[in-house]
């Protein structure tokens, strides 16, 4: 049959068979899935807040939109994946991906650089049983940028030797001394979601100004900020070497945050800080540590130049946040995007008619 220039049948030819409704429906679903996958990868993705580590800024039950465009979208690292899934197929424990193919990390140009205090979603770095882009998603606030030297002294953060003012919604743990029984509803009416009865009173996590208000009440005997003292080591705190680094949740550093192109000396003192970075995050296949020394390609090295930027992430709920103080740096290739909007918020502890926090709907995230 003779075809015209565009490859179509000549005018007057009989039309092809009409698609069945099943085929039309399948085509529409396929188009929707492809379109949604592209949007989710390149622009915005929805996330939920499962824990209280960012309270009082972000609450458990908040549903967020996270912008991939701010810092630039990552190209897929694990391409063999069921569309619109993360780690498992919806409603099951069945793995939704295969790591048989792993592509190199690339990031498209973004319209913003990471800034201090940005609320950032990232892949949990120390999770080793999944590919980078399929590790569990965390959200924290960026406290230390690549190239910064960070120090925490009695809960106050210093960057490059200068005190930096904390976010307005930062909250801490307090001991409330009282001989009066307080109903759960009392704390919830004060917008305090974390409280625990202890001997002689309660522990609560809240904002400093809310703690001051509670201190002013007649039936409250005392409100005391709970803090760890300097040089009282906590072995759970990074770098998990209390002999060399007697750090704890409220006292940590000085700690240099690696920057791409920066070179550090490798010594018995610095190696515990950067061993995980060099052996795992820098993808140095021929690197190893033996007897407190760094070897690359079988040769001992006395210095190391970083390949990518790193960040130090901390939750706003300072005494109830598993963050960089526990597990160290977040590599640049683990950054997912910036949290920009709360589009829905649900309070699981509220009554049926009060579950939706209407005042948080479509609230921009600072």
What is the CATH number for 53? 2.10.109.10
- For the beta carbon of residue 356, count every other beta carbon within 10 angstroms: 14
139 sits in the region (left: phi over 0; alpha: psi -120 to 50; else beta) called: beta
Does some domain include residue 215? Answer: yes
161 lies in some domain: no
Is 129 in the same domain as 194? no
Cα distances from 269 to residues 153, 214, 264, 289, in angstroms, run: 21, 45, 12, 14
> Does position 281 have pLDDT exceeding 60, yes or no?
yes
The CATH number covering residue 177 comes to 3.30.70
Place of tokens 């030819």: 13
Q: Flag whether pLDDT at 181 surpasses 70.
A: yes
User: pLDDT tens across 204-252, in order?
Assistant: 999 999 999 999 999 999 999 999 999 999 999 999 999 999 999 999 9
* Mean pLDDT for all residues in the chain: 92
Interval 30-67: pLDDT, tens: 888 888 888 888 899 999 999 999 998 999 999 999 99
Determine the average pLDDT of the residues in 90-96: 92
Does residue 193 have a pLDDT over 90?
no
Would residue 253 count as lying in a domain? Answer: no
Domain assignment of residue 198, given as a range: 172-225
CA nearest neighbour of 164 among 187, 183, 197, 141: 141
pLDDT at 5 over 50: no
CB 148 within 8 A of CB 115: no
Cα–Cα nearest to 256, from 116, 114, 147, 102: 147
325 pLDDT tier (thresholds 50, 70, 90): very high
| Number of folded domains that form the chain | 2
308 band by pLDDT with thresholds 50, 70 and 90? very high
Domain for residue 155, yes or no? no
Confidence of residue 16 (pLDDT cuts 50, 70, 90): low
> 25 falls in which pLDDT band (50, 70, 90)?
confident
> Which pLDDT belongs to residue 116?
96
CA angle, 227 then 229 then 232, to 5° = 125
Predicted confidence at residue 7, as pLDDT, reads: 45
* Confidence check: pLDDT of 313 > 60: yes
* pLDDT of amino acid 351: 82
Same domain, 215 and 133: no
Retrieve residue 277's tokens: 């970075």
d(CA 318, CA 305): 32
Cα–Cα distance measured from residue 337 to residue 40, given in angstroms and rounded to the nearest whole number: 11
- Do 104 and 208 have their domain in common? no
DSSP H or E segment with residue 338 = strand 335-345
Confirm whether 197 is domain-assigned.
yes
Lowest mean pLDDT among 23-32, 322-331, 341-350: 23-32
Distance in angstroms (rounded) separating the CA atoms of residues 96 and 253: 40
Query: Does a structural domain hold residue 283?
Result: no
Q: How far apart are CA 252 and CA 133, in angstroms?
A: 29
Q: Is 300:293 a contact under the CB 8 Å cutoff?
A: yes
């Amino acid at each position: 049959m003779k075809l015209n220039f565009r490859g179509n049948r000549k005018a007057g030819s009989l039309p092809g068979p009409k698609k069945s409704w099943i085929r039309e429906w399948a085509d529409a679903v396929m188009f929707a899935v492809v379109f949604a996958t592209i949007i989710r990868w390149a622009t915005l993705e929805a996330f939920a807040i499962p824990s209280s580590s960012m309270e009082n800024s972000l609450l458990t039950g908040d549903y967020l939109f996270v912008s991939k465009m701010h810092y630039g979208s990552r190209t897929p690292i694990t391409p063999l994946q069921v569309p619109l899934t993360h780690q498992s197929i919806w409603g099951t424990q069945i793995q939704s991906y295969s790591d048989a193919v792993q592509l190199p990390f690339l990031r498209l140009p973004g319209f913003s650089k990471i800034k201090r205090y940005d609320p950032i979603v990232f892949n949990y770095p120390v999770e080793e049983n999944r590919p980078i882009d399929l590790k569990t998603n965390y959200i924290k606030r960026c406290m230390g940028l690549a190239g910064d030297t960070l120090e925490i002294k009695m809960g106050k953060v210093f960057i490059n030797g200068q005190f930096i003012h904390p976010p307005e919604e930062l909250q801490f743990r307090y001991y409330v001394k009282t001989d009066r029984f307080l109903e759960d509803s009392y704390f919830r009416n004060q917008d305090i979601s974390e409280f625990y009865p202890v001997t002689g009173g309660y522990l609560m996590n809240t904002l400093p100004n809310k703690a001051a208000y509670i201190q002013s009440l007649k039936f409250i005997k005392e409100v005391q900020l709970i803090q760890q003292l300097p040089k009282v080591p906590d072995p759970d705190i990074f770098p998990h070497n209390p002999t060399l680094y007697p750090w704890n949740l409220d006292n940590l550093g000085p700690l240099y945050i690696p920057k791409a192109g920066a070179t550090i000396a490798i010594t018995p003192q610095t190696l515990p800080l950067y061993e995980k970075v060099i052996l795992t995050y820098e993808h140095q296949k021929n690197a190893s540590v033996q007897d407190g020394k760094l070897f690359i390609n079988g040769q001992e090295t006395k210095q190391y130049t970083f390949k990518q930027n790193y960040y130090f992430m901390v939750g706003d709920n300072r005494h109830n946040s598993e963050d960089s103080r526990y597990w160290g740096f977040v590599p640049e290739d683990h950054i997912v995007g910036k949290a920009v909007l709360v589009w829905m918020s649900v309070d699981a502890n509220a009554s049926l008619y009060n579950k939706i926090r209407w005042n948080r709907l479509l609230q921009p995230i600072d």
